[in-house]
Every structure is written in structure tokens, then in C-alpha cells.
Chains A and B, each alone.
Chain A
Amino acid sequence: MSAKITTEEVQHIAHLARLKLSDEEVSRFGAQLDSILEYVQKLDEVDTTNIEVTAHPLPICNVFRDDTPATSLTPDAALANAPASDTPFFKVPKVLDQETA
């Protein structure tokens, strides 16, 4: 693990996370992430050879339920919080150009 995180890396991470950060945020978060990453490097001291991962605290697997039909949200209820909608759809900006569609 290398400690110093570059401006380009911060911008790359922000893009992956879909966060349009201001320049001020990029430099502030960069410095703060540096100090947090330096701290979490403590974990390097721990020998984890042959240690399994714990992704979930309890040994639960393959939880099944009966396949019983039931009512779900109506389209109106599902759309009620949408910033833009045209029943029964959510409205979003164009994703594909006409030429490439």
C-alpha cells in the first residue's frame, strides 16, 4: 500500500463514485483520505495468512421463501418520489444518440 493519493487519483475515484467534486473538495478530500489511509495501514501489521474472510457475521446461506404471489407497489406509488416522471415511467436525459441507437 502506498500512502500518498494524487489529485488524479482523487478525481478518478470521484468519477467512479459519480461525485462531481469542486476543486476545493478534491484537495480537501485528498488530504483527509491520505491521513485516513495512513491510519488504516495499521492492518498490515496483522498476519492474515490462511485466514478466511468474514463478509457476514452469521453463518447464513441460501435463505428461501415460498413463492407466494402478493401485491407490490403500484406504479403511482413507485413514481410518487420521482423528480421527473411520465406515468408509468421515470424520465431521464437521453442516454443513447439517435445515430448510435
Chain B
Amino acid sequence: MSASVASKVSSTLDRLKRLDPQLKVCISIFSDEAGKRAAELDAAPPSGPLFGESVVLKDNICTRFGKTTCGSRILGNYRSPYDAHVVELLEKAGAVIVAKTNLDEFAMGSSTENSAFFPTRNPWNPEYVPGGSSGGSIVAVAARMVPFAFGSETGGSIRQPASLCGVTGMKPTYGRVSRYGLVAFGSSLDQIGPVAVDVRGVARLLGVVAGRDVRDATSVDEPVADYEALLDESPGKMRIGYAREYFGEGLHPETRRAVEAAIDVYRKLGAEVQEVSLPHSPYTIACYYLICTAEASSNLARFDGVRYGHRTANPTDYIELYSASRDEGFGAEVKRRIMLGTYALSSGYYDAYYLKALKVRTLIKQDFVEAFKKCDVILSPTTPTPAFKIGEKSDDPLAMYLADIYNCAANLAGIPAISIPCGFTESGLPIGLQFMGSHFAEGRLLQIAHQFQKSTDFHQKAPPLS
């Protein structure tokens, strides 16, 4: 009994290290720290909802041990002097952080190919992308390396890879989880979120990390429910809306079939299913990319080669210190987004691009307010297609942006959303089902998503790996 956490963590690390060379999940593996932590837990009486459980974190979440690289050369050797709020809460809950995972540089991307270090592979077929930007955390759970992981979302970066890899991943309401210690990308959109095999795991993780933190003034003092206990209650009358606009042109036929079959599952469970409309959906991606890049161009101004991060050798003056350090340290997608955001905020273009996008954001938000008068949750495919091949979209930024077409509206509106597995293509790639709910309705969202997992076993299917 006394050695149980140590042996559990050690076998987790064995599997992680065995599979990592083929899947390329981890940027850092904390064998020594995790072993030490496990021994400490074994020495104390068991306590906490995650006692002895192994967790991995996306490498844009700060830890006081190891590195926090954001998948970028500019932070290649960065060691955070403090822990993110979620790290403190996870440790208090008894969790053991065993690794930090790969991501698109600064969480900018939809395939985890934009990491400065290496691309992560889809465990169902290594020639395909896992999605992104939280690809490493998602694959760690999909490949059953660890039971639990955390990613972050600015626009779909948990749900989209969860869909492409067949796991359950949630973006909580903006403000539900403290962003303290999450390296900022788009501050009005960013949110840390849980990843697990099933809804029950996600509910448990959310319960641990949700709540107000004075160090993040945008975290909200709303009561935190016992999300896991809610799953065992009867869901009552489920009112499910499906957004007409999310079933249009560009939806892969196999994805459509799987999602329509999921709607039938809910009908059989007695849910009231009706069509709803989100009329501003066609403008989601344009609105999102103007806002997130504007915020990114401002947030990433801090990487200047002075206080931390890469610094160019022998700059001629202080302007070159900034500009050469940044050019050498950032990858192509990050530079592209900084350029777009700077352009949208620059004199002469601010009103036409940035302010226009903020107004369209209001309309997108209002679409949801109207839709939620008729239903508890909005059901849709998580992504228009299953996973695409590595390299397929690398040279076409816009095509890559459109991979998140069903995801970004939830980030713009600040509402919670979840992706759960709902089927497979004939070639064996996972398909995801998305639910969006109203602000702070995580409990309802989890309850309704859980009903699907009680009636199906897609979430229990693991990729064949050896």
C-alpha cells in the first residue's frame, strides 16, 4: 500500500518514455521530480480528488520546476520562477505532474506542426496531425500515457485536437479558471482547460482548477459545483439545439453521418432536439483572427531579449537588440500573426479592421443569447473534417485557420464548450461531437455530454500502439 503512488507513477513514466519517440508528445519529462513527489505522497495519508494521479501540462503553463518553452526558440531555456495557479491547485489535489507537452509555438496553430522543436503525431495514424495547438496534451491522453492533461484554448486549441484524437476536452467559460501563469496569447480569449478519456475525468479536473484567483482579475467569483456528482443526477429534460450553420458546405460526409447519428442517440434518450440559428457564423474566423492577432501582437511585445528569452549576439543598437532577437527567436506563424495584428491596430486601419471585428464579436455573442433561449446546449461537429495529413496545410495559413471554423465562436462569446468522441471514419480516424453552453453552465454541459458516453463506447476506444 505504502509504495502504490511511486509504483503507479513509475509505470506511467515507463509507458510515456516508451511511446514518446514515435508520438513526440513531451518537451520535458520530469522523472526525478515526479518520483520524489510520489514518494512524498506515499509518506502522507491519501487526500485530494487527484491523489497520486499523473497529469501532463501544455508547455505554456508555468511550473517552478523544469522549463516553460511555449514551443518556441525564444523561450528555449526559460525557467519560470513561479507556478501557475492551476499547478498549485493540482498539487494540492494530490496530482503528480510528470511532463510538459508539445504545442504550436505560443499556442498559435491547429496541428502542433508549428512547434519550434518537432511535430506531434496523431496516435491513430502517425502520418496525420493530432490537431492543435494543445496537441501534446491531447495525444498523451489519447495514447493512454496519462489519465489527465491540461491544455489551453484561444480559439479551439483543446476541442479541435480532442476531436482529431478521440478524447474528451473542454474549454471552460472565460473567467472560470485563473490564467495566472498561462503565457498570454489573446488575453480576452485565452482559457486553460481539462482533457481526459471521458466526461467524468474532465468534470473531476474542472472541479479542481475552477474558481476565483486574485492574481487574475478576470477570473470570476462564481460558485464551483461538484461537477462529478452532477453526472450521477438525472439530467431531466434535455433541450438540444443544432446550429444549421454548422452543417453546411465543407462538412465531411463521414463527420456529418456520425454527428447525425449522435443526434439520434439523444432523440432516443428523450431529448428535445430542434434547429437553432447562429446567423453570424460565416464571420467567426475573420473576426477571431483580427482580434487574436491584435492581442497577440501586444502580448508578445514583452519578448524583447532583455528580461528573459533569446537575445541576438552583438546588436548595433537597442532597436536591433529587439528586432533581431525577435526575428531569430520567433517562428514563421508567430511572426505572421504579430504582423497581422500590428497591421490591424496600426494608424489608418484600426477602425476598419480591429474595431469592426469587436463589433462583429458583439453580434456573434448575441446570436448565442438568442439561441440559448430555446435550448440548454448547442450541438455540432467539433471540426469540419477528421485529421489531415502532416504537411497538408503548412503552406496555406488561411486553410489552417479554417480548421477551427466551428470552435472560435465559443471563445469570442466566452462560453464553455466541450468535444467528445462520437465515431470513426472508415479509415479509422476519430470524429468529435461538440456542445456549447451558456456562461458558467459547465455543469449542464458535462451532464448532457455524459449521457452520450453512458449510451456509447467511442470514448473507450484506444489507438493500437506498441
Contact = CB atoms under 8 A, between A and B. Distances in A.
Partners in one complex: yes
Interface of A: 1, 5, 9-10, 13-22, 25, 29, 32-33, 35-37, 39-46, 48, 51-58, 60, 63, 65, 73, 77-78, 80-84, 90, 92-95
A82 to B, nearest CB: 6
- Chain B at the A interface: mostly helix, strand, loop or mixed? helix
A4 B327 CA distance: 24
Nearest to B313: A83
A43 B397 contact: no
Contacts of B315: 93
Nearest to A17: B342
Given A42-B286, A58-B218, A81-B79, 20 more contacts: A10-B339, A20-B326, A22-B327, A29-B336, A37-B343, A39-B285, A43-B360, A46-B360, A48-B356, A48-B359, A54-B361, A54-B412, A55-B358, A58-B174, A81-B77, A81-B307, A81-B309, A90-B307, A92-B321, A94-B318
A1 B363 CA distance: 21
Contacts of A37: 340, 343
B357 interface: yes
CB-CB nearest 3 A-B residue pairs: A57-B414, A83-B311, A81-B308
Interface residues of B, number: 72
B398 A39 contact: yes
6 contacts: A18-B319, A20-B326, A33-B336, A33-B343, A52-B362, A78-B81
A57 B174 contact: yes
A65 B214 contact: yes
Interface of B: 77-79, 81-82, 174-175, 188, 214, 217-218, 220, 280, 282-283, 285-287, 289-290, 297, 301, 304-311, 315, 317-324, 326-327, 330, 332, 335-336, 338-340, 342-343, 346, 349, 352-353, 355-363, 365, 397-398, 401, 412-415, 439
Contact of A93 (B287, B317, B336, B338): B317
